[in-house]
Amino acid sequence: MTRFSAWNVFWNGVTGQKGWSRQWRDPEPKPRYDVVIIGGGLHGLATAYYLAKNHGIRNIAVLEKGWIGGGNAGRNTTIVRSNYTQPGNREFYENSLNLWEELSHELNYNVMFSQRSHITLLHSPGAVDATARNYNTMRLTGNADVEIWSLEQLQEAVPHLNYGADARFPIMGAAVHKRAGTARHDAVIWGYARAADQLGVDIIQNCEVTAILRDGDKVTAIETSRGKITTDKVGLAVAGNSSRLWNMAGMRHLPIESHKLQAFVSEPLKPLLDQVVVFGMGGAHFYISQSDKGGMVFGGDLDWYKSYAQKGNLPIVQDVAEAAMSVMPCLGRVRLLRHWSGVVDMSMDGSHFICKTPVDNLYLNAGWNYGGFKATPASGTYFADLIANDRPDKVIANHDLKRFERGLQLDERGAGPDPKLHG
């Protein structure tokens, strides 16, 4: 496989782009693997990559029922940030952001990570105080690039918001996380796939897992649409479908509900917005950024009712359009290009699970709510470490299924045990 380099790009430019090879193989599934990862999204592919790279395990398969990146990996709005306050979460996301900063080099693939900053609009003195408390917590615990901006600072940096006196929620200032930004989701998927494949990982698409066979407390084999596969260890990384795979493994309950989240992209525009802007006020929620192609990428709340269908409903389209108009009225005549939805596993406290399960050789990676894109490099690193060494790193010690039994909830929002309220 050809490595990407300035020289190769130049050379192929002058020789008709004939020197490139396939990015990853399309192997037939083997009858046995040391580790099988179910789910070819970001977390599954990243896990396979770090298992091979950090732990020297090479006989690995990633099984994907459709095509890699066809799930939430290819449906998200690509925001990467680390402004979390709960112990465990803040170390996890800070480590993840550090890995993002090196990811293009690590994978020899340009993931177009752009640290354009993440700006949360503040509309009341109460919101300013609450943010000051949270951001001070972050600054004291190692995430030093968060700050609060006055209205003047904000106006200068982001001129096209609704600063009018007649705004429904006048803006008072903003919470700013400067190292945050966006990346190109497809590139992250392909970059991990290519790098994992190069280390010998078999990426098997169109391979749906239909049954997980057990002998007592051990998984022995996996039935798939492309035959039976035996394996020593199994990692689940199926995002919104976690409960269905959990059932296949013979277990019934998880602290998770599957909901759907919609997102939108407009026709391409000239440069208009150079940051990620987030608006949240009472019942309304809206976030927006501009892709490198120029499309305005935005979204809002969940559809509010549980759903396994990758298809959104109209009331949210209306809510998001209303919020867009109240925050950036200049978008009023911009045409929508596409609009889609993904099934996300909303957890009881809004935080994820990377943990062992009641089945000895079955490991769980789930509960990413709608924040799992940013988690990708850390999720893969810690999940691979868990699978290889059969014990959690101390950073993810509380990201287990038993935390609620211990009276612990990693609830960033303080929303309580209702999955649809976390985001």
Partner 1 sequence: MIRIPCPFCGTRDHSEFAYGGDGAIIYPDLDAPMQDWHDAVFQRENICGRQVETWQHVNGCRMWLLVERDTMTHEIYSVRPAHPDMAQALEVTA
Spell out the residues 6+ positions from residue 156 whose beta carbon is closer than 8 angstroms to its own. none
Site for partner 1 in 16-45 (CB under 8 A): none
Counting Cβ atoms within 10 Å, is residue 216 exposed (0-12), middle (13-18) or buried (19+)?
exposed
Is the Cβ–Cβ distance between 276 and 176 less than 8 Å?
no
20 binds, among partner 1, ligand FAD, none (CB under 5 to 8 A by kind): none
> How far is it, in rounded angstroms, from Cα 180 to Cα 382?
21
> How far is it, in rounded angstroms, from Cα 420 to Cα 343?
12
Among 205, 291, 313, 326, binds partner 1 (CB under 8 A): 313
Spell out the residues 6+ positions from residue 336 whose beta carbon is closer than 8 angstroms to its own. 264, 265, 266, 267
Total residue count of the chain as it appears in this document: 423
User: Is the CB of 42 or the CB of 175 nearer to ligand FAD?
Assistant: 42
Is the Cβ–Cβ distance between 176 and 148 less than 8 Å?
yes
Told to check if 237 binds ligand FAD by CB under 6 A, we report yes
Site for ligand FAD in 248-277 (CB under 6 A): 261-263
Please state, as a whole number, how many other Cβ atoms lie within 10 Å of the Cβ of residue 33.
Answer: 25
Told to check if 404 binds partner 1 by CB under 8 A, we report yes
Torsion of CA 376, 378, 381, 383, to 10 degrees: -80
Told to check if 290 binds ligand FAD by CB under 6 A, we report no
User: Is the CB of 12 or the CB of 384 nearer to ligand FAD?
Assistant: 384
To ligand FAD, the closest distance from the beta carbon of 196 in angstroms equals 13
Told to check if 365 binds partner 1 by CB under 8 A, we report no
> What are the structure tokens assigned to 204, written together?
């098997």
To partner 1, the closest distance from the beta carbon of 329 in angstroms equals 24
Q: Angle CA(308)–CA(366)–CA(106) in degrees, nearest 5?
A: 120
> What are the structure tokens assigned to 248, written together?
């296949």
Told to check if 61 binds ligand FAD by CB under 6 A, we report no
Check residue 76 and give left, alpha or beta (phi > 0: left; psi -120 to 50: alpha). beta
Strand order of the sheet with strand 284-290?
A: 146-150, 173-177, 118-122, 276-281, 284-290, 295-306, 256-268, 336-347
119 binds, among ligand FAD, partner 1, none (CB under 5 to 8 A by kind): none
Site for partner 1 in 237-266 (CB under 8 A): 241, 243-244, 252-258
Told to check if 348 binds partner 1 by CB under 8 A, we report yes
Piece in contact with ligand FAD (CB under 6 A), picked from 70-78, 102-110, 250-258, 395-403 = 70-78
User: Look-up: residue for tokens 């409960």?
Assistant: 243
User: Is the CB of 43 or the CB of 184 nearer to ligand FAD?
Assistant: 43
Q: 262 pairs with which residues across the strands?
A: 341
Site for ligand FAD in 161-200 (CB under 6 A): none
Is the Cβ–Cβ distance between 376 and 46 less than 8 Å?
yes
User: Is the CB of 9 or the CB of 354 nearer to ligand FAD?
Assistant: 354
Told to check if 377 binds ligand FAD by CB under 6 A, we report no
418 binds, among ligand FAD, partner 1, none (CB under 5 to 8 A by kind): partner 1
243 binds, among ligand FAD, partner 1, none (CB under 5 to 8 A by kind): partner 1
Told to check if 304 binds partner 1 by CB under 8 A, we report yes
Told to check if 246 binds ligand FAD by CB under 6 A, we report no
Among 49, 53, 75, 392, binds ligand FAD (CB under 6 A): 75
Please state, as a whole number, how many other Cβ atoms lie within 10 Å of the Cβ of residue 66.
Answer: 12
Residue numbers of the site for ligand FAD (CB under 6 A)?
38-44, 63-66, 70-73, 75-79, 208-209, 237-239, 241, 245, 261-263, 299, 342, 344, 368, 370-374
Residue numbers of the site for partner 1 (CB under 8 A)?
241, 243-244, 252-258, 304-309, 313-315, 348, 404-405, 417-420
